Amino acid sequence: MKKIFTFIIVILLAINSKAQDIESGLVLRLSFCGNTNDLSFFENNGEYMGNNVVYTTDHLGNENSAMYFNGFSDWVRVPASATINEPVDAITISCWAKYESLAFGQWAPIMAKTNTNEVLDRQYSLGLNGLEGKIYMMDTYVGEAELLADTWYHYAITYTPELYQCYLNGELIGEVVPNSPVTGNDKDLEIGRDTPQSTDYFHGSLDEINVYNRVLSAADIMALKNYDGCNFSSINEQKLQESFQIAPNPASGQITLQLPDDAIYQVSIMDIQGRMIHQIHNQQHQVKADLSGFQSGMYLIKIVGDKGYAVEKLLVE
């Protein structure tokens, strides 16, 4: 049954927005801001599996805002979960990557959701054939370009059973029919290594690992390329979290979202699977929402502003 949601802005100075959406469907975001924490709603935190973790400068020159991988033992494990396992029929994966050398003179494995040596066991994967200047997902080359060592590039791949689309630095460079359909598995997601026949490790720096359970638009991809996950200070985030309030919670009727003052906020309301229900830009600091069309369950409300972001869970009874 179609849900109808009515949002009433208490102060009339509110505006709708056609801004790009890089939150809906997000199941993993690793920005490597001195840690391997997941910045999505779902806390799919990574675990560094090497011997000596090194955080380095990102493509913008920000210190401790990317992770360095040594090419022989460094990788990050993201444990399998319901949300990590979910992307099958519609997927977007993206990252910033700068390789220094290639495994066996050819490969730069960025991520793979597998721990076996069968290529088709991968639910989703991303890597480079640096020798030939090709970008791959699963068993399909999806794009081709000159890919220089020691150079940052932003990669984004979208998948449906009918089509791959490959973006490099925000620009579409390839469209191709998949050689094989994606099938789900319950394997961990491995960042910085892959295990086809032998175990290949990534040598270089990685940043802004994103996984979505939907296909992002070209405008979304460009917004994702321009996103800087480490540009909000923990102090600002703490202040936003403390001043962001939902009342009542739990709720069954109307709720009021109290937002921090003196900023424009994007308000996103999602279900527990990360599917976007409603999104607005708001110039004022109070929003009322009618929950009469909501099914019972847990929802997630995220506000994003120029000083950071905050997330709260909402229980609808």
Query: Can you give the pLDDT at residue 257?
Result: 83
pTM of the full structure: 0.78
Residue 65 vs residues 179, 225, 273, 307: alpha-carbon distances, Å? 35, 15, 28, 18
Query: Can you give the pLDDT at residue 238?
Result: 54
Q: Class of the 6-20+232-316 domain?
A: mainly beta
- Cβ neighbours for 36, distance < 8 A, ≥ 6 positions apart: 30, 45, 46, 47, 48, 67, 76
Please tell me the total number of residues recorded for the chain in this structure: 317
pLDDT in tens, 135-164: 999 999 999 999 999 999 999 999 999 999
Q: Is 228 in contact with 309 (CB distance < 8 Å)? A: no
Pick the CATH number of 26-225 from 2.60.40.1930, 1.10.3720.10, 1.20.1640.10, 2.60.120.200: 2.60.120.200
Domain with CATH 2.60.120.200 in the chain: 26-225
Q: Which amino acid is at 67?
A: M
What is the Cα 296 distance to its own chain's centre? Answer: 27
Helix (H, G, I), strand (E, B) or coil at 292: coil
Query: Can you give the pLDDT at residue 2?
Result: 36
Domain with CATH 2.60.40.3080 in the chain: 6-20+232-316
Query: Can you give the pLDDT at residue 290?
Result: 82
DSSP structure class, residue 217: P
Query: Can you give the pLDDT at residue 260?
Result: 72
Over the chain (317 residues), what is each successive 10-residue block's mean pLDDT?
Answer: 35 37 89 93 93 95 96 97 94 98 95 77 91 95 97 98 98 97 93 86 98 95 90 52 82 83 72 74 73 85 72 85
Long-range (24+ apart) CB contacts under 8 A made by 31-39 are 31/65, 31/207, 31/208, 31/229, 31/230, 32/58, 32/65, 32/66, 32/67, 32/206, 32/207, 32/208, 32/209, 32/230, 33/64, 33/65, 33/229, 33/230, 34/64, 34/65, 36/67, 36/76, 38/78, 39/229
Nearest to 3 by CA among 276, 294, 300, 297: 294
Query: Can you give the pLDDT at residue 234?
Result: 43
